Amino acid sequence: MNSSDEKMNGHANIGRQLRRLAASETNRRHLLELPLFQVNRDLPEDLDMLLRELDAAETASARR
């Protein structure tokens, strides 16, 4: 096996380990204890405008 095959095999192994850990009962329990994500609507005007421009750019890009 050459070094690129070993790297790909190692990456696949890491991916399997991460999926296993993410699906573990301990992780699920931890995630259920976290507070729900909420969007802060009180953003500074310049940040709000920047986010609107980003949304518009993403929408335009998705239409292409």
Give the domain range for residue 26. 3-63
Whether the predicted model's global pTM rises above the 0.85 cut: no
Q: Which amino acid is located at 7 in the chain?
A: K
CB 16 within 8 A of CB 24: no
Alpha helices in 1-64, H assignment, sequence order: 3-22, 25-33, 45-63
Domain count, the chain: 1
Query: Pick from 7, 27, 30: which is nearest to 18 by CA?
Result: 27
Each of the 64 residues of the chain gets a pLDDT tens digit; together they read 566 676 767 788 999 999 999 999 999 999 999 998 887 778 899 999 999 999 999 999 888 7
